[in-house]
Amino acid sequence: MKIIKTVTVWGDSILGGIVPDPKGEKYIRLNEKCCVAGVEKALGLFIKNYSRFGMTSEKGLRLMQNNIDKLPSQSAALIELGGNDVDYNWAEIAEYPQCEHSPNVPPEKFTKNIESMVTLLKSRGIVPLLATLPPIHSKRYFEKFTKNIASKENILKWLKDIENIYRSQAFYSELIKKTAARLNCRLIDIRAAFMRQDDFARYLAADGIHPNAEGHELMKRTYIDYARKNLPSFNII
């Protein structure tokens, strides 16, 4: 039996517990209300959180490569990345809406980075866990990132449909599911937990992309339920 007492987390601002303040002027941390802190307490684990604001799969892979020798082999690692990978340089799109634009990390590169992280973890005897992405609210997010962009109508022209923001992010979440299946890697479907709610937007902050305190509570319960139902050999019940 592999007894897991240590988990490392490789994510972006979501698993870093970062949310906009009530006025939407700056970002703050949820601290003990962050889902990671809640899971750590409920399951009696030691969690080292490597999540960073603005983290992409490329940055996450480099960070993991630089720290892999510090990680105990009898451990697990949760990877939740993709939200920043699928984002765009919106100011550039506003200026050149007639041109083609790629996400920060194109889908093929994103998939390769996640595969590299999973392979690296497995090579060190660490159990990788992949998580899908919470959904985003297109209109809220559009209003957030265009706040200081004068020609936001150009972005709408390029998007064609504002809901393409949601669809693009959903596509990256689906890539995570497919990668997990291809690599025979454990998957925690966080997105499904949000989509089962009557109104998933209720669980998102005003910026449309960060889960609020209620969203983190939902994620906490999802992670704990998954562990208790699917990872009994990890001795974390």
Q: Give the domain CATH number at 60.
A: 3.40.50.1110
Cα–Cα distances (Å) from 230 to 57, 132, 189, 218, 223, in that order, read 26, 17, 13, 18, 10
**113: in domain:** yes
**Domain range enclosing 111:** 6-87+106-137+173-234
- CA-wise closest residue to 220 among 198, 195, 197, 188: 188
pTM over 0.75: yes
**211: in domain:** yes
Residue 205 CB-density burial (10 A; 0-12 exposed, 13-18 middle, 19+ buried): buried
Tell me the pLDDT of the chain (237 aa) as tens digits.
Answer: 566 778 999 999 999 999 998 777 789 999 999 999 999 999 988 999 999 999 999 999 999 999 999 998 878 999 999 999 999 999 999 999 999 999 999 999 999 999 999 999 999 999 999 999 999 999 999 999 999 998 999 999 999 999 999 999 999 999 999 999 999 999 999 999 999 999 999 999 999 999 999 999 999 999 999 988 876 544 443
**117: in domain:** yes
Bridge partner list, 211: 204
Q: What is the number of structural domains in the chain?
A: 1
